[in-house]
Protein backbone atom coordinates (compact mmCIF):
# COMPACT_ATOMS: atom_id res chain seq x y z
CA UNK A 1 0.00 0.00 0.00
CA UNK A 2 1.36 3.42 -0.94
CA UNK A 3 0.94 6.73 0.88
CA UNK A 4 -1.57 7.82 -1.77
CA UNK A 5 -3.67 4.68 -1.19
CA UNK A 6 -3.46 5.25 2.57
CA UNK A 7 -4.64 8.85 2.10
CA UNK A 8 -7.67 7.65 0.12
CA UNK A 9 -8.46 4.97 2.72
CA UNK A 10 -8.32 7.50 5.57
CA UNK A 11 -10.58 9.92 3.65
CA UNK A 12 -13.03 7.09 2.92
CA UNK A 13 -13.15 5.87 6.55
CA UNK A 14 -13.59 9.45 7.74
CA UNK A 15 -16.68 9.96 5.56
CA UNK A 16 -18.17 6.52 6.29
CA UNK A 17 -17.60 6.34 10.04
CA UNK A 18 -17.55 10.00 11.11
CA UNK A 19 -19.66 11.70 8.40
CA UNK A 20 -16.92 14.35 8.20
CA UNK A 21 -14.14 14.89 5.65
CA UNK A 22 -10.47 14.38 6.42
CA UNK A 23 -8.75 17.47 5.01
CA UNK A 24 -5.13 16.87 5.95
CA UNK A 25 -2.36 14.35 5.16
CA UNK A 26 -2.09 10.72 6.16
CA UNK A 27 1.13 8.84 5.50
CA UNK A 28 3.30 5.94 6.62
CA UNK A 29 6.04 7.00 9.00
CA UNK A 30 8.98 4.55 9.09
CA UNK A 31 10.29 6.10 12.33
CA UNK A 32 7.31 4.95 14.41
CA UNK A 33 8.40 1.97 16.51
CA UNK A 34 6.13 1.41 19.49
CA UNK A 35 2.78 2.76 18.32
CA UNK A 36 0.38 2.01 15.48
CA UNK A 37 -0.35 5.62 14.61
CA UNK A 38 -0.06 9.21 15.71
CA UNK A 39 -2.21 12.31 15.30
CA UNK A 40 -0.16 15.51 15.08
CA UNK A 41 -1.84 18.38 16.97
CA UNK A 42 0.01 21.13 15.11
CA UNK A 43 -0.32 20.01 11.50
CA UNK A 44 -3.41 17.78 11.95
CA UNK A 45 -1.66 15.06 9.94
CA UNK A 46 -1.83 11.36 10.79
CA UNK A 47 1.25 9.09 10.81
CA UNK A 48 0.76 5.34 10.52
CA UNK A 49 3.21 2.53 11.29
CA UNK A 50 3.38 0.32 8.18
CA UNK A 51 4.50 -2.72 10.22
CA UNK A 52 0.99 -3.05 11.68
CA UNK A 53 -0.41 -3.51 8.17
CA UNK A 54 2.31 -6.05 7.30
CA UNK A 55 2.13 -8.00 10.58
CA UNK A 56 -1.61 -7.81 11.43
CA UNK A 57 -3.39 -7.00 8.17
CA UNK A 58 -6.00 -4.56 6.92
CA UNK A 59 -8.45 -4.87 9.84
CA UNK A 60 -5.79 -3.73 12.32
CA UNK A 61 -4.86 -0.82 10.02
CA UNK A 62 -8.51 0.28 9.78
CA UNK A 63 -8.79 0.15 13.57
CA UNK A 64 -5.70 2.34 13.97
CA UNK A 65 -7.05 4.82 11.42
CA UNK A 66 -10.39 5.03 13.28
CA UNK A 67 -8.54 5.63 16.56
CA UNK A 68 -6.46 8.46 15.07
CA UNK A 69 -9.49 9.96 13.32
CA UNK A 70 -11.24 10.16 16.71
CA UNK A 71 -8.36 12.34 17.93
CA UNK A 72 -8.50 14.35 14.70
CA UNK A 73 -12.22 15.12 14.57
CA UNK A 74 -12.62 15.82 18.30
CA UNK A 75 -9.59 18.13 18.33
CA UNK A 76 -10.88 20.13 15.36
CA UNK A 77 -14.29 20.45 17.04
CA UNK A 78 -12.70 21.70 20.26
CA UNK A 79 -13.90 18.69 22.24
CA UNK A 80 -12.00 16.27 24.49
CA UNK A 81 -9.60 14.47 22.13
CA UNK A 82 -7.28 12.86 24.71
CA UNK A 83 -7.38 9.17 25.67
CA UNK A 84 -8.84 9.87 29.11
CA UNK A 85 -11.60 12.22 27.91
CA UNK A 86 -15.15 10.87 28.02
CA UNK A 87 -15.97 12.29 24.57
CA UNK A 88 -13.02 10.42 23.08
CA UNK A 89 -14.05 7.13 24.70
CA UNK A 90 -17.65 7.51 23.51
CA UNK A 91 -16.72 8.35 19.91
CA UNK A 92 -14.21 5.50 19.80
CA UNK A 93 -16.91 3.07 20.97
CA UNK A 94 -19.44 4.50 18.49
CA UNK A 95 -17.18 4.03 15.44
CA UNK A 96 -15.75 0.69 16.64
CA UNK A 97 -12.14 1.77 16.99
CA UNK A 98 -9.73 -0.02 19.33
CA UNK A 99 -8.53 1.63 22.54
CA UNK A 100 -5.03 0.18 21.98
CA UNK A 101 -3.47 -1.50 18.98
CA UNK A 102 -2.16 -5.05 19.09
CA UNK A 103 1.46 -5.61 19.98
CA UNK A 104 3.95 -6.34 17.25
CA UNK A 105 5.45 -9.84 17.25
CA UNK A 106 9.15 -10.18 17.91
CA UNK A 107 9.29 -7.20 20.20
CA UNK A 108 12.43 -6.51 22.14
CA UNK A 109 12.03 -8.43 25.39
CA UNK A 110 15.70 -8.11 26.29
CA UNK A 111 16.73 -5.61 28.95
CA UNK A 112 20.22 -4.23 29.11
CA UNK A 113 21.90 -2.80 32.19
CA UNK A 114 25.32 -1.25 32.51
CA UNK A 115 26.96 -1.41 35.94
CA UNK A 116 29.37 1.28 37.12
CA UNK A 117 31.03 1.65 40.52
CA UNK A 118 32.88 4.39 42.35
CA UNK A 119 36.62 3.78 42.66
CA UNK A 120 36.66 5.62 46.01
CA UNK A 121 33.63 4.48 48.03
CA UNK A 122 32.48 1.46 45.98
CA UNK A 123 28.88 2.66 45.40
CA UNK A 124 27.32 0.83 42.44
CA UNK A 125 25.26 2.49 39.71
CA UNK A 126 22.92 0.50 37.47
CA UNK A 127 22.07 2.33 34.24
CA UNK A 128 20.17 1.53 31.02
CA UNK A 129 22.58 3.51 28.86
CA UNK A 130 26.31 3.85 28.85
CA UNK A 131 27.66 7.07 30.34
CA UNK A 132 30.87 9.00 29.81
CA UNK A 133 32.95 8.19 32.91
CA UNK A 134 35.23 11.17 32.24
CA UNK A 135 32.26 13.53 32.48
CA UNK A 136 30.43 12.12 35.54
CA UNK A 137 31.56 11.44 39.11
CA UNK A 138 30.12 9.64 42.13
CA UNK A 139 27.20 11.47 43.69
CA UNK A 140 28.20 10.44 47.19
CA UNK A 141 31.93 11.20 47.36
CA UNK A 142 32.82 12.75 43.98
CA UNK A 143 35.14 9.82 43.22
CA UNK A 144 35.90 8.54 39.71
CA UNK A 145 33.42 6.13 38.14
CA UNK A 146 34.58 2.95 36.45
CA UNK A 147 32.76 0.59 34.10
CA UNK A 148 32.21 -2.82 35.73
CA UNK A 149 30.02 -4.91 33.44
CA UNK A 150 27.07 -5.03 31.08
CA UNK A 151 24.14 -7.36 31.83
CA UNK A 152 21.58 -8.50 29.25
CA UNK A 153 18.40 -10.13 30.62
CA UNK A 154 15.92 -12.00 28.39
CA UNK A 155 12.10 -12.06 28.79
CA UNK A 156 12.03 -8.96 30.96
CA UNK A 157 13.70 -10.53 34.01
CA UNK A 158 14.85 -7.97 36.56
**What would the pLDDT profile of 126-146 be if each residue is shown by its tens digit?**
999 999 999 999 999 999 999
Complete DSSP assignment for the chain:
--HHHHHHHHHHHIIIIISS---S-EEE-TT--S-SEEE-TTT--EEE-HHHHHHH-HHHHHHHHHHHHHHHHHHHHTS--STT-HHHHHHHHHHT--SSPPPPTT----EEEEEEEETTT--EEEESS---TTT-B-TTT-PBEEEEEEEEESTT--
**Would you state the CATH architecture of domain 3-95?**
2-Layer Sandwich (3.30)
Which pLDDT score is estimated for 67? 95
Which amino acids are annotated catalytic?
Answer: 68
| Rounded average pLDDT over 16-37 | 93
Question: What is the pTM (predicted TM-score) of this model?
Answer: 0.68
Over 60: is that where the pLDDT of 155 sits?
no
Domain boundaries, the chain: 3-95, 111-153
Amino acid sequence: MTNAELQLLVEEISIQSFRRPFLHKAYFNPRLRTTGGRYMLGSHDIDINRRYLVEHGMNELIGIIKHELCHYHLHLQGKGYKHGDQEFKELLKKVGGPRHCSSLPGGNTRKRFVIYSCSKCGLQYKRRRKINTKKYVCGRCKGKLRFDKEIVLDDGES
